[in-house]
Amino acid sequence: MAGKSTNPNFMNGVPELLILRLLKDREMYGYELVQAIRAVTRDAVSLGEGVVYPVLHALEKDGALKSRRKPVNGRTRVYYTVTPAGQKRLGALVDTWTKLNDAVGGAIRGGAYVAA
Amino acid sequence: MAGKSTNPNFMNGVPELLILRLLKDREMYGYELVQAIRAVTRDAVSLGEGVVYPVLHALEKDGALKSRRKPVNGRTRVYYTVTPAGQKRLGALVDTWTKLNDAVGGAIRGGAYVAA
DNA sequence: TGCCATACATCGTAGTTCGAGGTAATATGC
DNA sequence: GCATATTACCTCGAACTACGATGTATGGCA
């Protein structure tokens, strides 16, 4: 119920945010994203392929991403780029994240609840 | 799929953290917590009773909280306090939250991945 | 008396994330 | 030439959270 030795439960929504953010800088493919996320968060966040691919598909279906297939060395890679809708979505995500962050951070530090 | 007009999806695990944090300062009852959370986060986080009560029950079942019933003006309130186990759990939660926060914050701002 | 706030609680639904597993092709080591 | 690891895609079932709706009951107020 509490003891899941994998990623913590604050993770919800974070994969989507991270993926959009990384793709904003440059075109990438799924397998590459998996490693890029580990690298950019210095292993603090480690998403498996079973997380990344479904998010990618969902985002594309929602029109936030566009994909193109590109054969490289016989293997086929699916590269993703962020659409304008995706940029907007990323902006909203970052905004919400920041707000929530301030609120929770304040609660952790501030503690004191001044009753009416 | 994306358009949920309620709380964002970063919320996972946050209710538990917030509840433990508030109860660490002083004994409180469920209904009070619902409002305290709104107050302390300045409405950035708004948890319904359908969120707070189940979390309270789960935490007590896990030994992180202790409860006592106290009649006030004919109504019965269930007051909760944090156990040593709960304190430890809160500590771990805050730690994890902070780490994740740094990682995601860095990814949002930094963009570029600076190896070692 | 009717209504709202207090105060507890549970249920079904919806959405995420996770690990495990499955398919292929290329590169590497022996 | 052959086994293994790496690259690269993908899907599935299980588990968990969080949510709104709903239900019960009491006290205060008009």
Is A2 an interface residue toward B (CB < 8 Å)? yes
Per-residue pLDDT reduced to its tens digit, A58-116: 999 999 999 999 999 889 999 999 999 999 999 999 999 999 999 999 999 975 544 33
B36 forms beta bridges with none
Say how far apart CA A90 and CA A19 lie, in whole Å. Answer: 9
Nucleotide at minimal C1' distance from the A76 CA: D8
Say how far apart CA A22 and CA A14 lie, in whole Å. Answer: 12
User: What's the pLDDT score for residue A112?
Assistant: 52
Say how far apart CA A23 and CA A52 lie, in whole Å. Answer: 13
Protein-proximal nucleotides of chain D (any atom < 7 Å from a CB):
7-13, 16-23, 26-28
Per-residue pLDDT reduced to its tens digit, B73-100: 889 999 999 999 999 999 999 999 999 9
From the list A21, A44, A58, which residue is nearest B1 (CB)?
A58
User: What's the pLDDT score for residue B1?
Assistant: 38
Apex CA A79: angle with CA A78 and CA A83, to 5°? 130
